[in-house]
Structure 1
Amino acid sequence: MGSPMVSADPDRGPEGVPLRSLDGSAEGFAGRFGIWIAGIWLVFLLEPVVDHLPPSTSAEVVALVAVALFALVYLYAFWQLKLLRDELLQAELPLRQGLVVVGVLVVLNLLEYPGLGEAALGGIIFVTATAAMVLPSRVAVPLVLLISGAGVVAVVTVPGWDADLDFPVFALVGAFLLWAVKQILARNIDLVRMRQENEALLLDQERNRFARDLHDILGHSLTVIAVKSELAGRLLESGDPRAAAEVADLERLSRDALADVRRAVHGYREITLPGEIARARGTLAAAGIEALVPTSVDDVVGDLRELFAWTIREGVTNVVRHSAARRCEIELTADRVVIRNDGVATTHRHADEGHGLRGLRERADAVGARLRAVRSGGEFILEVGP
């Protein structure tokens, strides 16, 4: 009699998501047919059953019924194990359920001996294999040793039985092989869990990135629109002919903001340093703030250009929105951008508050730069650099 073997890699994860093997292939043969592979080994229980058909004694009837129930409980154990792997990513049954399953198998196997004699000893192979698969190692190891030892004692002491240790040895070997299979499954489950955690982390990071980008886009655009709306209102009240141009500019800015949001949603929005300098000049001018901005960005290191562009956008937006500045200066070097304004007021928001600066700090950290936002000598200074 051989030892029962099974290979049942988890093929479905939480919420029905198909799991993948380590090489990235789709669910494997063993994952789909593992329960049937485990059941194939039950064929070795047929030999003693056939030898006692038709049953001639009540003991044989009880034994044959016990064998049938034994096979069903064995299949139930592996079916439950597969469900737990698929739905909950667990490599073994809960301890109480596992002990009940193994205990029922032991009792049914004991009921077989009066009718089948020594032939019923083959059942201990299935018992130890099941114990190795469904129970934690701290419980399975002593239990397997106890059952195998009981088999050794039985073949040596029961009168009329051959002193053949094949069954107890197969019980140990089968249990060890199934334990090894369970360790592989447990490692695979750990990898699947780790992958799902990484995917959740990446998703969370992407959500934060999108929220940050959306804040930067709308925060800047709506600030400019608000400033220009106020200006247009004053011009309309005074009958200034420039009001029409400001209203047209408002329409253009609104359309640009909508286009930016759409590009952000699709992940294709781009931001350029020259473009943000031009935006800053126009935004500051619209707010009545004297703008001192660089005329060239040629010296800026390539991998810092996007960061500096976001810095200028966020810095200028905060100057217009939160300060009473009359003058704003932007300085650019190869590895540093500095934005100074003279509009520090008691209502100015703290440098470390707000989604904008927090998101900007995250961008700086991502490329190994540092963000500093300080008040000094009546100025508010925002600096990003080494």
Structure 2
Amino acid sequence: MGSDPEAATGVISGSELRSLPRRFYRHWWQVLAPLSLILLGYPIRAAVEAGPTLPTSMISLGGAALFAAGFTYLMCWLRPARLLIGPPSAAELWLRRGLILGLAVLLIMLAEVTGPQWLSLFFHVGMAVGVMLPAREAYVGVVVLLVVLFVLGFPYGLSFLGLPAGLLGLWGAATIGQTANLAELITARRRLAELAVAEERLRFARDLHDLLGHSLSLISLKTELGERLIDTDPVRARAEITDAHAVARRSLREVREAVAGYRRPVLVAELDGARELLESAGIETVIDDQLGSGPVPHDVVLAWAVREAVTNVVRHSGAASCRIELTRSGRLVRLQVDDDGRGPADPARSVPAAAGTGSGLAGLAERVRQADGATLTIENLRPGFRLRVCVPAEAEVP
């Protein structure tokens, strides 16, 4: 049987315990096979009671042990042909056919020697035919099984056993086919996801090449020219180097914009992440989102504000509680984050007037300024700290 990367080894963790129902569905035949061998008790008891002589008892016990060993090996140590990666080899198919035929012959011999009660175990053979053989062979095998049981059971009035045995075989064939189709679907979806990731990487590489190819070539040419002119024409050399610096700064800004486009935050996701981060830090968290599930104007600015505010609360505030409110008032959408920790000594200096695109509140202030009509306010509540971002509601959302 092929190895399963999700198979439990050693102690079962919580995630493995939650995946047990799915694992049972994927390998249900391996769970049911050993349990079904409890039905061996009836023919063994009947054979021993009907034939108390030592040879009959030994034949019954030996045949039961041989049947249990063969059936368990077939169902638990061999993967069904339709779940193998690639088509099964001829040797693998003949092994399955040989084991199923051997089990059927063994039951026929036991039924002839010790009694017809062994015919009831053809239920196991029917299940093995449906599960372990390819689809076409499985359906042909079920028909052959019906004919064999009708012929063998007719003298004893047990011809009806062929119907449940055949139904079990058909159920096994249909279920294993569904499992195989599900496995193929999961594999196809995983491959599509991998292809999508690869395509996105190629697109990002093309974007970076388009952004940097021309700029880096221009920087290289200007710095090389400036190096040549530094002795003969220092003024022009300085101008070339200044131009190279300007191109480098422009290229850096374009790269930041490209990366920001790939790392666009989403407000709903940031709120969920904020709750998880605050609760992990032992901070009591209340999130009051009154905007509902509709579209939110300036979603990205509000998402960055949530991320920055929560980061400051966790890292610097020492707060015990934090409250995040999202409300709509008239033509404004307001995000307010309050905590009961220690704020900066001078809140007015926390957001410089000429904040660049760096990190922290300065970077947040730059993002807010880039959104038309948005405002950022911070307050030291002594104790506590408040961050408020207001953005215009471009359209009323019902």
2:243 maps to 1:228: no
Equivalent of 2:40, from 45, 58, 69?
A: 45
Give the superposed CA RMSD: 3.9
Equivalent of 2:73, from 72, 76, 96?
A: 76
Equivalent of 1:104, from 102, 105, 110?
A: 102
Query: By how many angstroms is 1:131 displaced?
Result: 0.8
Could you tell me the percent identity over the aligned residues?
28
SS of aligned partner of 2:158:
coil
Match of 1:165?
A: 159
Cα distance, 1:29–1:154 mapped onto 2, change above 3 Å? closer
Cα distance, 1:99–1:252 mapped onto 2, change above 3 Å? farther
CA contact under 8 A between 1:13 and 1:89: conserved in structure 2? no
SS of aligned partner of 1:241:
helix
SS of aligned partner of 2:188:
helix
Equivalent of 2:169, from 156, 175, 192?
A: 175
Equivalent of 1:205, from 199, 205, 221?
A: 199
String of CA shifts for 1:285-322, please: whole Å, max 9, x gaps: xxxxxxxxxxxxxxxxxxxxxxxxxxxxxxxxxxxxxx
Match of 1:324?
A: none
The two structures have a TM-score, normalised by structure 1, of: 0.54
Query: By how many angstroms is 1:29 displaced?
Result: 4.1
Query: By how many angstroms is 1:188 displaced?
Result: 0.7
Distance 2:73 2:252 in 1: 59
CA contact under 8 A between 2:44 and 2:61: conserved in structure 1? yes
Cα distance, 1:28–1:118 mapped onto 2, change above 3 Å? same
SS of aligned partner of 2:22:
coil
List runs of 5+ in structure 1 lacking aligned partners.
1-9, 17-23, 271-386
Match of 1:66?
A: 63
CA contact under 8 A between 2:60 and 2:110: conserved in structure 1? yes
Q: How does 1:256-295 map to 2 (within 5 A)?
A: 257=251, 268=262
CA contact under 8 A between 2:80 and 2:133: conserved in structure 1? no
CA contact under 8 A between 2:70 and 2:103: conserved in structure 1? yes
Cα distance, 1:195–1:236 mapped onto 2, change above 3 Å? same
Distance 2:263 2:237 in 1: 31
The two structures have a TM-score, normalised by structure 2, of: 0.52
SS of aligned partner of 1:238:
coil
2:124 maps to 1:126: yes
String of CA shifts for 1:333-372, please: whole Å, max 9, x gaps: xxxxxxxxxxxxxxxxxxxxxxxxxxxxxxxxxxxxxxxx
Query: By how many angstroms is 1:89 displaced?
Result: 8.2
CA contact under 8 A between 1:148 and 1:171: conserved in structure 2? yes
Distance 2:87 2:5 in 1: 12
Cα distance, 1:92–1:152 mapped onto 2, change above 3 Å? farther
Cα distance, 1:264–1:111 mapped onto 2, change above 3 Å? farther
Cα distance, 1:175–1:91 mapped onto 2, change above 3 Å? farther
Q: Which amino acid aligns with 1:78?
A: M
String of CA shifts for 1:88-137, please: whole Å, max 9, x gaps: 48899942232123123223323422443101101211112101111112
2:115 maps to 1:117: yes
After superposing on structure 2, the runs of 4+ consecutive aligned residues of structure 1 that deviate more than 4 Å are 10-14, 81-87, 89-94, 251-267
CA contact under 8 A between 1:95 and 1:135: conserved in structure 2? yes
Cα distance, 1:248–1:53 mapped onto 2, change above 3 Å? farther
Cα distance, 1:266–1:128 mapped onto 2, change above 3 Å? farther
Match of 2:233?
A: 239
Distance 2:48 2:252 in 1: 82
Distance 2:243 2:69 in 1: 78
Q: How does 1:229-378 map to 2 (within 5 A)?
A: 229-251=223-245, 253-254=247-248, 257=251, 268=262
Query: When the two structures are aligned, how many residues end up with a matched partner?
Result: 249
Match of 1:141?
A: 139
Cα distance, 1:252–1:105 mapped onto 2, change above 3 Å? farther
2:25 maps to 1:30: yes
Cα distance, 1:168–1:41 mapped onto 2, change above 3 Å? same
Q: Which amino acid aligns with 1:188?
A: L
CA contact under 8 A between 1:89 and 1:189: conserved in structure 2? no
Distance 2:172 2:227 in 1: 80
Match of 2:208?
A: 214
Match of 1:345?
A: none
String of CA shifts for 1:200-238, please: whole Å, max 9, x gaps: 321331232133123223312221112212331343142
List runs of 5+ in structure 2 lacking aligned partners.
10-18, 265-398
CA contact under 8 A between 1:124 and 1:171: conserved in structure 2? yes
CA contact under 8 A between 1:109 and 1:120: conserved in structure 2? yes
CA contact under 8 A between 1:133 and 1:182: conserved in structure 2? yes
Distance 2:192 2:44 in 1: 52
String of CA shifts for 1:145-188, please: whole Å, max 9, x gaps: 2222111111224xxx2x12232111111111112212211221
Cα distance, 1:177–1:33 mapped onto 2, change above 3 Å? closer
Q: Which has the higher contact order (CA 8 A, sep 6+)?
A: 1
Match of 1:318?
A: none
